[in-house]
Amino acid sequence: MDTPRGWKKKEIVITGFGGQGIVLAGKIVGRAAALGDGVESTLIQSYGPESRGGACSAQVILATATIHYPYVRKPDVLAAMSQAGFDKYIGGVREDALVLIDQDLVKPRDMEREIFAVPSTRLAEEMGKKMMANIIMAGFITAVTQLVSRKSMEDTVAGSVPRGTEKSNLAAFGKGYEYGAALLKARDKKAQGIARATA
């Protein structure tokens, strides 16, 4: 029997390169889901041969029951902040997976599936804190996937970043969240317009 959430298990891959805070973003998602929303979660992290600049990913599994195998087999969500990470994982995602990218760092080629794009690095640079691009992406993931509550994510962000940076990181999270919410609203509005036109 399914849960009131509408899902039993979700597999998430967040990928990019070392130095972007990819693993921290994964930790925040998993911790927020477990401590804030009361679901089971696991995190597996991997790095390329170099920690900074090399390939990096965080594999997060969220489930409403015990997780017996912590590795992602077929992602339901792929959030890519580098071209190499996108190219590595896009071929293995589910047909109905949500695919999110940093639109300035990832260029999908010949993709028929829907892609959700956010200029997370550029938005972070505009805020004067390029290192917060991962937090902007975390906000975007929260809005687009709706797998973890906004409050749980905000509480976890505040408790996961260096002391004294909570306010700026929460502002970054909010920027990513609002960007995602606006994107969904525009998509729904367009779909409604098409439905009316073809009725």
Which amino acid is present at 105? Answer: L
How many CB atoms are closer than 10 A to CB 183? 17
Q: Are 164 and 199 in contact (CB under 8 A)?
A: no
Q: CA 171 to CA 33: how far, in whole Å?
A: 20
Domains and CATH numbers, the chain: 9-198 (3.40.920.10)
Q: Which of 5-19, 50-64, 166-180 has the lowest mean pLDDT?
A: 50-64
Strand partners, 78: 13, 99
Q: Are 134 and 81 in contact (CB under 8 A)?
A: yes
Phi, psi of 179 (to 5 degrees): -65, -45
The pTM of this model reads 0.91
Could you report the per-residue pLDDT of 84-140, keeping only the tens digit for each? 999 999 999 999 999 999 999 999 987 889 999 999 999 999 999 999 999 999 999
Split at pLDDT 50, 70, 90, the class of 189 is confident
pLDDT at 47: 72
